[in-house]
Amino acid sequence: MKKLPLYLQIIIGLILGLVYGIISAAAGWGSFTSDWIAPFGTIFINLLKLIAVPLVLSSLITGVASLSDLRKLSRIGGKTIAIYLVTTTISVTIGLVLVNTLQPGEQVPVDMKTQLQDTYRDKADSRTGSAQKVKERGPLQPIVDMVPSNVFYSATSNRNMLQIVFVAIFVGIGLIQIPKKKSKPVLDFFEGLNNVIIKLVDIIMLMAPLGVFSLIAQTINKVAGDNLGQVMELLGALGYYMLAVIIGLLIHMVVTYTCLLKFLTKMPIQTFYKGIAPAQLLAFSTSSSGATLPVTMECCENELGVSEEVSSFVLPLGATINMDGTALYQAVAAVFIAQTLGLGLDLSAQLTIILTAVLASIGTAAVPGAGIIMLVIILEAVGIPSAGIALILGVDRILDMMRTVVNITGDASVAVVVASTENQLKLPIK
């Protein structure tokens, strides 16, 4: 019997998790799900996070060192950052056009506005406090934060991924500058480590269907609790807002990325989406670009034919600074909250949203829920009360899953484009 492809196994796990989650909420099995189902999802995410830092460090060092020419590194880096900025700007613009067209904030009943603000006031205050700390930092603080004072401390948290990227590039540049005879032992070590990590990814992915099942079941459990009726009421009230975000994400993923691939590469669209499917499904269930990174890299290299040299540079960088889905969601959410509160936003305010959302997406951590903190900064930049985030917190987790899919799809599409322009794309033979 032919073994099912990994993406189909993950889809089955996702569907079963969805069915079980609904049954669990309806039957009142919340405690059982938290105690006996959710831990498997947590273990799965922890395993992926466990290998993320050593994978980025080893693959990026070997990738940079193999370039043997700093001009080539700067060329790849320049292309990558330029495309990331362009796609993020496009995503924010799409979001603003949709939210101004659909006007979802006008559809929320007055009593539901009050109920949402009362229910999520404490969470909103917590996010506002976190955002205030971020806001108080100087304009160059993100650059300062990128340069660690202790590499071992940086490696202790996946939130410091940008620091790891910096260290890896720095070490790789150092290896280029010394004779090959002296750099070879160091390179051999990191190449060996990279091979081990790649093999560990294969082993961890054997657990993917079970992990996805657990994560989806727990997500529904958290959102619904033991009251499905409450969930349906919430979805009904915020349906237009969710619709605006989802349509925007679909347009950006289907149109923007498809155009990138069609006009700048020879990669068949079907091949791309089939190859990246396991990473997309994993991103949907984990809501974390960082946790999905090892799988994204494996899919790009093995299924899409992107060279390790390009993937090891473009993808870790993308997981930290390229958040197209998050930026689009932030734009829609900001205008939605303004509409709901009866606050008008002129053209200058919406241009401010574009600029702030693009910059905020660069600083958004690749972990679940980080986008909501950056949203507070965007709201305050255009004079919208930050307490307004209470209106959207109830459905944020659902939308977080979807925007993470767009985030990693954007990373992969840019990796394919950069590899193609550098003649480092080996199209898969199907």
Q: Which single residue is written with the structure tokens 């660690």? A: 148
Per-residue pLDDT, averaged over 267-287, amounts to 93
Looking at residue 69, the DSSP 8-state letter turns out to be -
Q: How confident is the model at residue 363, as a pLDDT?
A: 55
Q: How confident is the model at residue 402, as a pLDDT?
A: 92
Confidence of residue 90 (pLDDT cuts 50, 70, 90): very high
Structure confidence by residue, pLDDT tens digits, 334-345? 999 888 888 878
Q: Average pLDDT, whole number, for the chain?
A: 85
Per-residue pLDDT, averaged over 150-167, amounts to 82
Q: Which residue has the higher pLDDT, 120 or 336?
A: 336
Q: Which single residue is written with the structure tokens 């033991």? A: 226
Distance, CA of 234 to CA of 396 (rounded, Å): 12
Distance, CA of 180 to CA of 65 (rounded, Å): 10
Q: How confident is the model at residue 1, as a pLDDT?
A: 47
Least confident of 117-126, 236-245, 358-367: 358-367
Asked whether the predicted pLDDT for residue 186 surpasses 90, the reply is yes
Tokens at 274, concatenated: 């089939």
Q: Which single residue is written with the structure tokens 């269930």? A: 285
Q: What is the pTM of this model?
A: 0.84
Distance, CA of 288 to CA of 293 (rounded, Å): 9
Neighbours of 236 (CB within 10 A): 12
Count the alpha carbons within 13 Å of 299 in the hemisphere toward its beta carbon. 30
- Determine the straight-line distance between the first and last CA of the chain, rounded to whole angstroms: 21
Confidence of residue 248 (pLDDT cuts 50, 70, 90): very high
Per-residue pLDDT, averaged over 377-405, amounts to 83
Confidence of residue 364 (pLDDT cuts 50, 70, 90): low
Q: Which domains does the chain have, with CATH numbers?
A: 6-421 (1.10.3860.10)
**Which positions ≥6 away from 229 have C-beta within 8 Å?**
none
Distance, CA of 342 to CA of 188 (rounded, Å): 62
Per-residue pLDDT, averaged over 337-362, amounts to 81
| Residue 108 C-alpha from the chain's centroid | 28
Q: Which single residue is written with the structure tokens 């905020």? A: 360
Structure confidence by residue, pLDDT tens digits, 279-306? 999 999 988 888 899 999 999 999 999 9
Tokens at 206, concatenated: 């054997």
